[in-house]
């Protein structure tokens, strides 16, 4: 199958064969030569017949004259044929054929390639796929007219090869700088979400990133646990990619927010991400009156919370830890914030309903009660 795709892409990019020029029309001299040859052939036939008749009549003197005449006519025909033979055209000069690289052709090639790679049967980057990418690499990274398809292509290769994704991470993040280009940013976000869902949130991290994170985690352990839960940037579960996604999610673009929320729900559901603070954000988004017109967003979060407590190991503990940050955010929300309009009692009832649906052999509601009681005992005079 890959061989067929490679052949199709090559045929699309190969330049057409040059058309041979039509043969030149016959010149006046050629026409005269044809007439002269026809006249000589007639004369030749007449002389041959005369020679044969003279031989039959045993007139050998006349036969000899006719023979000489035949030889003379044949000589003239040969000379005329040599003169009128056209010279062979010079052999064509071999030229290097450049691949077709216009945007329409490249978009067709990438569309075919992306559709071929978007299949669960493909598990790794095959040698033919590497050859195809190497032939298209310059255009993929330098042609802005094919950027959307190029992003999808690099992401699909990255999903098959983690190291490939890590090597080309700058290609994705460079296109997140300008968030005003909605179509491009949406494509980048979808690619990033797919990559982190396949390889995990740390897909783009190098070894020195892991070392720095472990040092930061050790330092964070000395901080107050409640404070660490409420601050996303200090959580060891969040790396640069997740923080970038969360920052964009807090923006004003509903399309970006939907893509990121879908991705976070997938990460949490797959177990690639354990983050009470993100659960808290999802809860607040669902109840936030500012998202009342974002039907797909609310539907996505609602379906997620229907399945998350019953299918993901450790979900109940995450829900418990997300409760306090959620309640604190609501209690401390300024009056001008849409969060101030949220019914806190409704939020609590919803969280309690999530703990009722428990597939783990733990007392989730008892654990939540202990968590809230401990928090109140430590900070009895806190405003929230």
Of the pLDDT bands very low, low, confident and very high (cuts 50, 70, 90), residue 230 is: very low
Q: What pLDDT is recorded for position 124?
A: 92
Residue that wins the pLDDT comparison between 370 and 333: 333
Q: Which two tokens stand for residue 339?
A: 């969060």
The reported pLDDT for the residue numbered 227 is: 30
Whether residue 341 is predicted with pLDDT greater than 50 in this model: the reply is yes
What is residue 127's predicted lDDT score, i.e. its pLDDT? 93
Question: Average pLDDT, stretch 296-320?
Answer: 91
Q: What is the DSSP string of 253-264?
A: -HHHHHHHHHHH
- The closest of 175, 143, 169, 174 to 155, measured between CA atoms, is 169
| 8 pLDDT more than 50 | yes
Whether residue 150 is predicted with pLDDT greater than 80 in this model: the reply is yes
pLDDT range class, residue 267, cuts 50, 70, 90: very high
Among 53-57, 78-82, 224-228, the range with the most confident prediction by mean pLDDT is 53-57
Helix axes 276-287, 344-356, angle to 10 degrees: 130
State residue 186's pLDDT score: 96
pLDDT digits (tens, 9 = 90+) for 57-94: 888 788 888 888 888 888 888 877 766 555 555 666 66
The whole-angstrom separation of Cα 246 and Cα 259 is 11
Specify whether the backbone of 145 is left (phi greater than 0), alpha (psi in -120 to 50) or beta.
Answer: alpha
Q: Is the pLDDT of residue 53 over 60?
A: yes
**How is residue 307 written in tokens?**
């399945």
Q: Please report the pLDDT score of residue 60 as a whole number.
A: 79
Q: Angle CA(231)–CA(236)–CA(239) in degrees, nearest 5? A: 90
pLDDT digit string (tens) for 9-29?
A: 988 888 776 666 666 655 545
Residues 245/263, Cβ–Cβ less than 8 Å:
yes
pLDDT at position 225: 36
pLDDT greater at residue 380 or residue 2: 2
Sort 326 into a burial class: Cβ within 10 Å, 0-12 / 13-18 / 19+.
buried
Cα 326 off chain centre by = 38
Long-range CB pairs of 102-108, under 8 A, 24+ apart, other chains included: 103/143, 103/145, 103/146, 105/12, 105/13, 106/136, 106/139, 106/143, 106/145, 106/146, 106/149, 107/145, 107/146, 107/149, 108/12
Per-residue pLDDT band for 35 (boundaries 50, 70, 90) equals confident
Per the listing, tokens 């004003």 go with 252
Place of tokens 């017949």: 49
Q: What's the confidence (pLDDT) of residue 93?
A: 62
CA distance linking residue 107 with residue 152, whole number of Å:
11
Residues counted in the chain: 384
For residues 91-103, give the mean pLDDT. 74
228 versus 167: the higher-pLDDT residue is: 167
Using CA atoms, how far residue 86 sits from 30, 81, 83, 310, in Å, is 10, 10, 8, 89
Does residue 111 carry a pLDDT above 60? yes
Band the pLDDT of 245: cuts 50, 70, 90. very high
Please state, in angstroms and as integers, the Cα–Cα distance from residue 162 to each residue in 214, 273, 381, following that order: 22, 18, 50
Q: What is the mean pLDDT of the chain?
A: 81
Checking if the pLDDT of 216 tops 50, the result is no
| Mean pLDDT on 355-384 | 56
pTM over 0.75: no
Residue 269, pLDDT above cutoff 50:
yes
| Residue with the larger pLDDT of the pair 214 and 375 | 375
Does residue 383 carry a pLDDT above 60? no
Between 54 and 285, where is the model more confident? 285
Rounded distance between C-alpha atoms, residue 73 and residue 118, angstroms: 78
Minimal CA–CA distance to 171: which of 196, 183, 153? 153
Task: Return the closest-CA partner of residue 191 out of 175, 209, 210, 207.
Answer: 175
Which of 224, 311, 228 lies closest to 265 in space, CA to CA?
A: 311
| Span 107-132, average pLDDT | 93
The DSSP output letter for 15 is P
Q: What is the pLDDT of residue 108?
A: 95
Instruction: Report whether 205 contacts 275 (CB < 8 A).
Output: no
Higher pLDDT, 307 or 93: 307
pLDDT over threshold 70, residue 271: yes
């Amino acid at each position: 199958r890959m061989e067929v795709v490679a052949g199709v892409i090559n045929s699309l990019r190969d330049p057409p064969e040059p058309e041979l020029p039509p043969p030149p029309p016959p010149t006046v001299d050629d026409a005269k030569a044809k007439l002269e040859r026809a006249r000589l052939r007639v004369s030749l036939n007449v002389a041959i017949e005369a020679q044969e008749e003279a031989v039959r009549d045993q007139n050998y003197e006349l036969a000899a004259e006719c023979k000489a005449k035949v030889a003379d006519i044949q000589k003239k025909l040969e000379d005329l044929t040599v003169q009128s033979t056209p010279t062979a055209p010079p052999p064509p000069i071999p030229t290097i054929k450049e691949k077709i690289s216009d945007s329409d052709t490249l978009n067709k090639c990438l569309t075919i390639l992306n559709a071929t790679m978007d299949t669960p049967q493909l598990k790794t980057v095959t040698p033919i796929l590497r050859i195809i990418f190497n032939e298209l690499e310059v255009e993929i990274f330098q042609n802005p007219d094919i950027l959307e398809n190029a992003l999808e292509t690099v992401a699909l290769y990255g999903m098959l090869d983690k190291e490939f994704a890590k090597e080309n991470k700058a290609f994705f993040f460079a296109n997140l700088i300008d968030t005003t280009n909605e179509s491009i940013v949406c494509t980048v976000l979808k690619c990033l979400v797919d990559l982190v869902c396949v390889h995990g949130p740390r897909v783009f991290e190098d070894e020195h990133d892991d070392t720095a994170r472990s040092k930061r985690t050790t330092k964070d352990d000395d901080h107050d646990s409640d404070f660490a839960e409420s601050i996303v940037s200090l959580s060891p579960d969040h790396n640069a990619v997740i923080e970038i996604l969360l920052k964009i999610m807090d923006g004003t673009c509903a399309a970006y927010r939907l893509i990121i929320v879908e991705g976070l729900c997938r990460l949490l559901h797959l177990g690639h991400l354990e983050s009470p603070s993100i659960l808290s954000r999802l809860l607040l988004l669902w109840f936030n009156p500012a998202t009342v017109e974002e039907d797909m967003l609310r539907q996505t979060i609602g379906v997620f919370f229907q399945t998350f407590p019953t299918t993901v190991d450790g979900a109940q503990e995450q829900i418990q830890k997300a409760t306090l940050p959620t309640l604190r955010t609501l209690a401390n929300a300024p009056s001008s914030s849409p969060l101030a309009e949220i019914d806190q009692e409704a939020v609590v009832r919803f969280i309690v309903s999530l703990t009722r649906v428990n597939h783990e052999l733990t007392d989730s509601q008892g654990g939540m009660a202990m968590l809230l009681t401990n928090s109140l005992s430590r900070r009895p005079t806190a405003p929230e």
